[in-house]
Amino acid sequence: DQQVKQNSPSLSVQEGRISILNCDYTNSMFDYFLWYKKYPAEGPTFLISISSIKDKNEDGRFTVFLNKSAKHLSLHIVPSQPGDSAVYFCAASDSGTYKYIFGTGTRLKVLA
């Protein structure tokens, strides 16, 4: 059972436009959410996170939105740059455990 789902395997966006990556989860116990970026032949690197007590967290060009009632979060990248081309994973965790559950990833391609 996939507790964290990223239903779009890939996304293409023009440089300068907004990229929106989506993630859904099923476990209502999750209270901390993260986004990771992964380049080929490298390990995933942490990008941004959000706690369930918030509905938005912003860091430069990256903003994560959390809709707890819909069990949905999204990552917005504005403006998108070619260097943002990578696979993006969302992950979730709950305070009662130590583990992070990841989605299947979305491959973002930003076209110059």
Partner 1 sequence: DAGVIQSPRHEVTEMGQEVTLRCKPISGHNSLFWYRQTMMRGLELLIYFNNNVPIDDSGMPEDRFSAKMPNASFSTLKIQPSEPRDSAVYFCASSLGGGAGTEAFFGQGTRLTVV
- Which residue, 53 or 112, is less far from partner 1 as judged by CB? 53
Least separation in angstroms between CB 18 and partner 1: 24
Binding site for partner 1 (CB under 8 A): 2, 6, 31-32, 34, 36, 41-46, 49, 51, 89, 91, 93-105
Q: How far apart are CA 93 and CA 27, in angstroms?
A: 10
43: left (phi over 0), alpha (psi -120 to 50) or beta: beta
CB atoms within 10 A of CB 93: 18
Q: How far apart are CA 25 and CA 70, in angstroms?
A: 9
Least separation in angstroms between CB 17 and partner 1: 26
Among candidate residues 35, 19, 7, 40, the one with its CA nearest the CA of residue 111: 19
Q: How far is CA 86 from the centre of its chain?
A: 12
- Which residue, 87 or 110, is less far from partner 1 as judged by CB? 87
- Which residue, 39 or 78, is less far from partner 1 as judged by CB? 39
- Which residue, 25 or 36, is less far from partner 1 as judged by CB? 36
Least separation in angstroms between CB 27 and partner 1: 13
